């Protein structure tokens, strides 16, 4: 039996097309940013870190992205793969999370893939941040540098994520033509923005992604955007500048740059990454795409959808 209420809700979301918030110099900003960091060395190192799992080889990776902060990551491979060039899944975690443990990624390794999972700077992992802060912040990380697009925290973590993909593609044991990006919430937002800005990924999975339709999210969401709302509440004179800064990183303005196959997920009961925000960006993607809509899911990825992401990547990478 079809629920007419749910069908109507999904139909409305599929037609949702809010006004863009693109600043006039959006293209110039990203062209200059990519040019600025293109030649920046990764200064990477790698050491093997054995795990209790005999079928897995894991390595602790340290590299540099936006600045000289040592960024920590796990590089994981099937133990029996030797130096065979494998597809690689580059994984970004959710807000306040971390790269976790190598054991967290065994489903991908058991499928025959390599994994590179990175810490987002300053959050819950082993990675700090050497970014200067010239103005106060609300609680959390995302309001750091929010008065200037060049000093904004999102610019730093976007460059860090782009450099993670670059590191993965450079490994002799990775097939650079078969790199997928994968993440949820904040990680899903990083998947979207790197898919828009990098030519390296071949496919992408953005689960319940953040960084979408942020002018709507800052008003309604229970996500990290609450921190930007708190900042504006404290400094209402900076309201317009905060919204302008966010617009450079908002996937509603960048989604049409995505050229690769992508799978997105959305829970209709999600109050963190609201369905309106996700569909606002998804509807502007013109490449091969699919969105999995879960009417009764909130802000999480169900086992059913985890299986679906595995099938999506296997479909493209074998």
300 has binding-site annotation: no
Sheet of 45-48, strands arranged across:
45-48, 56-63, 71-78, 114-118, 86-92, 174-184, 203-207, 262-267, 289-294
Residues sharing a CB contact under 8 Å with residue 202, sequence separation 6 or more, in sequence order:
177, 178, 179, 180, 260, 261, 316, 317
Enter the tokens of residue 118: 């990175």
Q: Give the integer Cα–Cα distance in Å for 60 and 125.
A: 13
**CA-derived radius of gyration, the chain:** 19
What is the Cβ-side half-sphere exposure of residue 286, based on CA atoms within 13 angstroms?
A: 4
Q: Which residue has the tokens 């990547």?
A: 313
Residues with catalytic roles: 185, 270, 299
Contact 87, 180 (CB under 8 A): yes
Distance of CA 318 to the CA centre of its chain: 23
Contact 183, 93 (CB under 8 A): yes
Enter the tokens of residue 139: 């609680």
Q: Strand 71-78 and strand 56-63: pairing?
A: antiparallel
Determine the Cα angle at 309 with ends 176 and 316, to 5°.
40
**Which alpha helices (H) appear in 170-299, and where do they start and end?**
186-197, 214-220, 225-234, 239-247, 251-254, 275-282
Q: Strand 56-63 and strand 262-267: pairing?
A: unpaired
Binding positions for substrate are 95
| Binding-site residue set | 95
């Amino acid at each position: 039996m079809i629920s007419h209420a749910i069908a109507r809700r999904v139909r409305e979301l599929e037609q949702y097309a809010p006004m863009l918030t693109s600043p006039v110099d959006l293209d110039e900003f990203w062209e200059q940013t990519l040019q600025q960091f293109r030649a920046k060395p990764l200064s990477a190192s790698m050491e093997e870190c054995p795990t209790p799992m005999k079928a897995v080889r894991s390595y602790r990776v340290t590299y540099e992205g936006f600045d000289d902060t040592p960024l920590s990551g796990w590089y994981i491979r099937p133990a029996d793969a030797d130096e065979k060039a494998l597809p690689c899944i580059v994984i970004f975690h959710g807000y306040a999370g971390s790269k976790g443990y190598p054991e967290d990624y065994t489903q991908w390794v058991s499928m025959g893939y390599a994994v590179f999972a990175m810490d987002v700077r300053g959050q819950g992992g082993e990675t700090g941040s050497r970014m200067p802060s010239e103005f106060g912040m609300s609680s959390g990380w995302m309001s750091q540098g929010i008065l200037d697009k060049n000093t904004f925290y999102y610019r730093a973590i976007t460059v860090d994520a782009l450099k993670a993909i670059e590191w993965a593609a450079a490994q002799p044991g990775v097939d650079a033509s078969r790199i997928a990006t994968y993440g949820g919430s904040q990680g899903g937002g990083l998947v979207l923005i790197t898919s828009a800005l990098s030519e390296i990924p071949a496919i992408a999975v953005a689960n319940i992604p953040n960084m979408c339709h942020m002018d709507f999210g800052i008003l309604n969401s229970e996500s990290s955007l609450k921190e930007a709302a708190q900042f504006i509440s404290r400094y209402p004179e900076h309201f317009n500048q905060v919204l302008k800064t966010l617009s450079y990183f908002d996937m509603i303005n960048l989604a049409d740059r995505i050229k690769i196959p992508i799978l997105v997920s959305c829970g209709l009961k999600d109050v963190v990454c609201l369905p309106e925000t996700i569909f606002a960006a998804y509807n502007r993607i013109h490449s091969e795409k699919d969105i999995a809509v879960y009417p009764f899911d909130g802000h999480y990825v169900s086992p059913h959808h985890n299986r679906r992401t595995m099938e999506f990547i296997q479909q493209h990478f074998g």
